Structure 1
Amino acid sequence: MAPFGPIVAATNTFHRPVGPVAYDCVKLVVVRDGSAVLSSHLGRRPVAVGDVVLLCANTLCAAKPEGCCTVSIVCIDTDYLIDQVFWQHVGLLSDRLDARELAGKLYLESVQLLHIGGQQLDQVGPLLDELTCLTAICHYAKRFNRIQALWFLIADEISPFIKVSSVRLSPSQRERLRPTTPRHRRFVPLRAEAIRAAEFLRGNLAHHWTVLDLAERVHLSESRLSRVFADAYGKTPMAYLTMLRVEELARLLRESDLLVEDAIGRVGWRSMSYAIRVFRRHIGITPGVYRRTHNAVA
């Protein structure tokens, strides 16, 4: 099996109908030569040179070439794109869970047909060819920077044609996000109190921490500690503690034979139902499914 890479590109010529089929990734299909008829929930649409089809994950689509059709296809892992959305809109978001929610609001259409034209295609074509060559080699880690650069250049040419929905945050949503959003981080030396607070949390995950308890240990007020900590780590102390507990629970599930409920208690959660909800919110699956998935892969 070839090593996994979050971006894979290929150029193919097809003479027979393809699909309907769906993929668990986002696909960018650039028509390089010939034409075809695309079938999706949008109905039947003709595509020709200079057209780009944007398919969201798990979207059924079929195509019938008119004679033959040559396309370059870029497959992008959805989690990789969520990371891009997070950093693109970091001023609005607190974490990647918010980024996933925002992406769902921005890109409402599961299929988009983009008419970029011949001039844009001339710009994108050489980038697609190089990306295809590099991802075919399967040395993603070695050429990570170049592959990423090529993808960003391609996206820069095509993104102006993509339809996005306007998203507005209500005052209550902004207030909820404010304490943890990374826009409040400053690239300055960390305050000693923030470092000590993080060390306390990492050193004793099982302790029943409160902001007051932590603030007293580092000799700051609760509000002051929350601001200092968010500046240093981009999260409130309790959000940081949750992240640490999720990471440690995942490690215990991978590396130990502890029962799930015992592992949950080991990291400091007293409610199993609450721990399962939090773990699922961060990882995407329950602790039990996580353990079974890891054991199956191992």
Structure 2
Amino acid sequence: MAYDCVKVIVVRDGSAILFSEFGQKAVKVGDVILLGANVLCGSEPEGHITVTTVYLDTDYVLDQVRWQYAGFLEDRLKAQGFAETIYTEPAQILRLGEDRAGMLLPWLDELVAFSLDGDFVRHYYRIQALWFQIMYVVAPFIKVSPVRISPSQRAHIRPTLPRDRRFAPLRVEARKAAGLLREAPSQRWTLEELAAEVHLSPSRLSSVFVEAYGKTPLAFLTMIRAENLAKYLRETDLTVTAAMQRVGWHSRSHATKLFHQYVGLTPGDYRRLRVQAA
């Protein structure tokens, strides 16, 4: 699955194998998973796993970067460029250790209680304080780069401009375009065809889509195809080649490359792992 927000996932109990752009890695108690917006990630629990997940709007994250480096960042646009430069890994596993991660649990429990209560206005300052306490412990473990050198950096994904929203696109055209891609991922879409469907120029559709989802329309389509291919490999007996064709990929080598980029495994390795788990 992929979400249009940044996710911080704290492993509280048990263990699992994770699949994402970092490849296939094991996580256990004491680990924290950091996922950028619209990054696919799947898991295979080893017996059981319990986690607490914090979902962060990308605008909120940019605001925090802006104020953290207020001494030399003039505005949120500068903050975005700065964040794109130093946070090049779309998915990370942070090995905090059980003792350090254990410090987070009472704060996470309190955050969960406030989320269930739903009175975010009244609890606003306490929620902020809890989040800052959590990040004070987690932040030193986040991998940063002074330049764009990450091997897993998604160069085909254009950066998103700051916007004010609630985990949803602002433009109806972007929502419609995303719906078309989800409904017919096997269709051989071009940007021009998709733009005609929503009555925008290709350049304008690309702009509003990136603003809404943080990806170009065709990069979003690639993610959907990878998501669907993983489902077919898990839940059907289709051959790998047949499953690729069903989701819209007709070149096995090209599909393998894209699937590995988004899921962290080749389609063949992903199926073998699922068969072994069963």
* 2:87 is aligned with 1:107: yes
**What is the match of residue 25 of structure 1?**
5
Deviation at 1:51, TM superposition (A): 0.5
Question: For the residues of structure 2 that align with 1:44 and 1:163, how far apart are their CA atoms?
Answer: 18
**What is the match of residue 25 of structure 2?**
45
Question: For the residues of structure 1 that align with 2:118 and 2:96, how far apart are their CA atoms?
Answer: 29
Give deviations 1:62-90, integer Å, cap 9, x for gaps: 01101110001011111011000000111
Q: Aligned letter for 2:50? A: T
Q: Give the one of 9, 12, 16 matched to 1:36.
A: 16
**What is the match of residue 132 of structure 1?**
112
Deviation at 1:135, TM superposition (A): 1.4
Deviation at 1:101, TM superposition (A): 1.0
Question: For the residues of structure 2 that align with 1:44 and 1:166, how far apart are their CA atoms?
Answer: 26
Q: Give the one of 124, 147, 160 matched to 1:144.
A: 124
* 2:63 is aligned with 1:83: yes
Q: Superposition pairs for residues 190-205 of structure 1, below 5 Å?
A: none
Question: For the residues of structure 2 that align with 1:165 and 1:157, how far apart are their CA atoms?
Answer: 20
Give deviations 1:269-291, integer Å, cap 9, x for gaps: xxxxxxxx9xx89xx58xxxxxx
Deviation at 1:91, TM superposition (A): 1.4
Question: For the residues of structure 1 that align with 2:90 and 2:144, how far apart are their CA atoms?
Answer: 11
Q: Aligned letter for 2:68? A: Q
Q: Aligned letter for 1:95? A: D
Structure 1 segments of 4+ aligned residues over 3 angstroms from their partners: none
Question: For the residues of structure 1 that align with 2:88 and 2:40, how far apart are their CA atoms?
Answer: 15
SS in 2 for 1:164: coil
Identical positions, percent = 49
Q: Superposition pairs for residues 61-80 of structure 1, below 5 Å?
A: 61-80=41-60
Deviation at 1:166, TM superposition (A): 2.3
Question: For the residues of structure 2 that align with 1:159 and 1:62, how far apart are their CA atoms?
Answer: 23
Deviation at 1:112, TM superposition (A): 0.5
SS in 2 for 1:24: coil
Bigger relative contact order, structure 1 or 2 (CA pairs below 8 A, ≥6 apart): 2
Deviation at 1:33, TM superposition (A): 0.3
Q: Superposition pairs for residues 208-219 of structure 1, below 5 Å?
A: none
Q: Aligned letter for 1:27? A: K
Deviation at 1:28, TM superposition (A): 0.5
Alpha-carbon RMSD: 2.0
SS in 2 for 1:73: strand
Question: For the residues of structure 2 that align with 1:76 and 1:135, how far apart are their CA atoms?
Answer: 13
Equivalenced residue count is: 153
Question: For the residues of structure 1 that align with 2:116 and 2:80, how far apart are their CA atoms?
Answer: 29
Q: Which runs of 5+ in 2 are unaligned?
A: 148-203, 213-278
Question: For the residues of structure 2 that align with 1:36 and 1:68, how far apart are their CA atoms?
Answer: 8
Question: For the residues of structure 2 that align with 1:133 and 1:68, how far apart are their CA atoms?
Answer: 23
Question: For the residues of structure 1 that align with 2:22 and 2:129, how far apart are their CA atoms?
Answer: 32
